[in-house]
């Protein structure tokens, strides 16, 4: 998703600093943008490390002179229900997803406040509906949603808008590893994928580009009167699963009707 965000924002005329723990991957994205004529650079950043995040913000200022928007998108999936999760698992989910969002926001906000700007977090649709077997990841993303609303309230009057995108299932290394962890073999993995997607009204995976489009909207003046919002981009999963049960809606949506489900 970060790669798609970088490409979409660069195409919109922005200078993009790609920050990721995986430095070669971030550098490859930046190199691709530079080769296409867009200003871009990369910096290794560990969002769980206060000094690393501060260095990332300083690098952005040194390179571009200002920060207009920050897409705080890095995250990690930790699988497991509460009975199978260790305290280490819980702490890891909180550290990468919640503390990482907190540290990132704290490092960039002073710079956003200089001329006004935007902060966009990545939540998840299933935090708004519930899902089986992610008893650390969902609470961690819940903290990200609460942080979105809190920062929006704290900084609206000072020219900084804070919103979040809540993606449904998007085919990336993260979602792939999530479903592989639940499947014993390739056949079970394929069956699981088909079941998940079958529950989406728009019955396919989302693309990173579709999420990046929402982030661009929230990051720019196109969304100038929006703050504190958590916007699902999820093929209709969240909204349509709550449609009133009726013979008509059942006939129409019966194939994916997820109201009886507690997972995706
Ligand atoms: N893929 C989905 O279906 C889906 C759905 C809902 C929400 N999300 C969220 O979207 C975001 C992007 O996910 P993705 O699917 O692109 O995952 P991904 O695994 O492809 O990418 C996550 C990126 O975060 C980086 N990262 C991990 N830990 C880091 C750290 N400590 N410091 C800096 N970078 C770190 C990884 O190196 C990787 O490049 C995540 O926050 C994820 O929770 C994904």
259 falls in which pLDDT band (50, 70, 90)?
Answer: very low
Ligand 1 atom nearest residue 45's Cα: 33
Decide: 46 in ligand 1 pocket, CB within 6 A: yes
pLDDT bucket at 258, cuts 50 / 70 / 90: very low
Determine which residue's CA is closest to atom 42 belonging to ligand 1: 75
Q: Is residue 193 part of a domain?
A: yes
Cα-to-centroid distance, 45 and ligand 1 (Å): 13
Judge if the beta carbon of residue 47 lies within 6 A of ligand 1: yes
CA 245 to chain centre: 31
Which residues, including other chains, have CB under 8 Å from residue 112's CB and lie 6 or more apart?
67, 68, 69, 70, 118, 119, 155, 160
Give the mean model confidence (pLDDT) for residues 60-82.
96
Over residues 194-217, mean pLDDT: 94
247 CB burial (10 A radius; 0-12, 13-18, 19+): exposed
Residue owning the nearest CA to atom 7 of ligand 1:
124
In a domain? residue 84 = yes
- Atom 17 of ligand 1: nearest residue by CA position: 174
| pLDDT at residue 176 in the model | 85
198-206: average pLDDT: 92
- Does a structural domain hold residue 200? yes
Q: Is 166 in the pocket of ligand 1 (CB under 6 A)?
A: no
Both tokens assigned to 115: 């001329």
Interatomic CA distance for residues 240 and 54, integer angstroms? 41
For ligand 1, atom 40, the nearest C-alpha belongs to: 75
pLDDT score for 260: 31
Q: Which of 121, 96, 154, 117 is nearest to 229 (CA)?
A: 121
Find residue 43's DSSP bridge partners.
19
Q: 243: which DSSP letter?
A: S
Residue 209 counted as domain residue:
yes
Of 81-95, 100-114, 153-167, 180-194, the one with minimum mean pLDDT is 180-194
- Count of the separate structural domains present in the chain: 1
Residue 243, pLDDT above cutoff 70: no
Does residue 1 line the site of ligand 1, with CB under 6 A? yes
**In this predicted model, what pLDDT tens digit does every residue of 107-142 receive, in sequence order?**
999 999 999 999 999 999 988 878 888 999 999 999
Name the token pair of 114.
């200089």
Name the token pair of 63.
């390179």
User: Could you tell me if residue 260 is inside a domain?
Assistant: no
Q: Are 61 and 107 contacting, i.e. CB atoms less than 8 angstroms apart?
A: no
Separation between Cα atoms, residue 34 and residue 32, nearest integer Å: 6
In angstroms, rounded to a whole number, what is the distance separating the alpha carbons of residues 242 and 209? 26
Give the mean pLDDT of 2-12. 98
Domain of residue 181: give its range: 69-253
Separation of alpha carbons 125 and 241, rounded Å? 12
Q: Is 129 in the pocket of ligand 1 (CB under 6 A)?
A: no
| 40 beta partners | 16
Closest CA to 78 of 93, 61, 95: 93
What single DSSP character describes residue 1? -
Looking at the domain assignment, is residue 35 inside a domain?
no
User: How many A from CA of 83 to the centre of ligand 1?
Assistant: 25
User: 3-state SS of 64-102?
Assistant: HCCCCEEEECCCCCCCECCCCCCHHHHHHHHHHHHHHHH
Q: What is the CATH number of the domain that holds 84?
A: 3.40.50.720
Question: Using 50, 70 and 90 to split pLDDT, how confident is the model at 250?
Answer: very low
Confirm or reject: Cβ of 4 under 6 Å from ligand 1. no
**Domain annotation covers residue 49:** no
């Amino acid at each position: 998703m970060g790669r798609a965000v970088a490409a979409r924002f660069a195409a919109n005329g922005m200078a993009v600093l790609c920050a990721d723990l995986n430095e070669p991957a971030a550098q490859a994205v930046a190199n691709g943008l530079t080769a296409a004529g867009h200003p871009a650079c990369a910096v290794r950043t560990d969002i769980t490390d206060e000094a690393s995040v501060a260095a990332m913000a300083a690098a952005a200022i040194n390179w571009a002179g200002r920060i207009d928007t920050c897409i705080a998108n890095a995250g990690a999936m930790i699988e497991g229900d509460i009975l199978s999760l260790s305290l280490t698992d819980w702490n890891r989910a909180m550290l990468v997803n919640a503390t990482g969002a907190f540290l990132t926001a704290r490092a960039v906000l002073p710079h956003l406040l200089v001329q006004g700007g935007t902060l966009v977090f990545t939540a998840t649709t299933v935090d708004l509906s519930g899902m089986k077997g992610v008893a650390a990841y969902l609470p961690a993303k819940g903290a990200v949603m609460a942080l979105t609303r809190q920062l929006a309230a704290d900084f609206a009057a000072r020219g900084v808008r804070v919103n979040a995108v809540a993606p449904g299932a998007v085919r990336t290394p993260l979602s792939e590893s999530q479903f592989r962890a639940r499947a014993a073999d390739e056949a079970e993995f394929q069956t699981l994928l088909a079941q998940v997607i079958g529950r989406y009204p728009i019955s396919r995976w989302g693309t990173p580009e579709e999420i990046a489009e929402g982030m661009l909207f929230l990051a720019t003046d196109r969304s100038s009167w929006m703050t504190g919002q958590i916007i699902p981009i999820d093929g209709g999963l969240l909204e349509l699963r709550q449609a009133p049960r009726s013979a008509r809606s059942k006939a129409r949506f019966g194939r994916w009707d997820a109201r009886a489900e507690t997972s995706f």
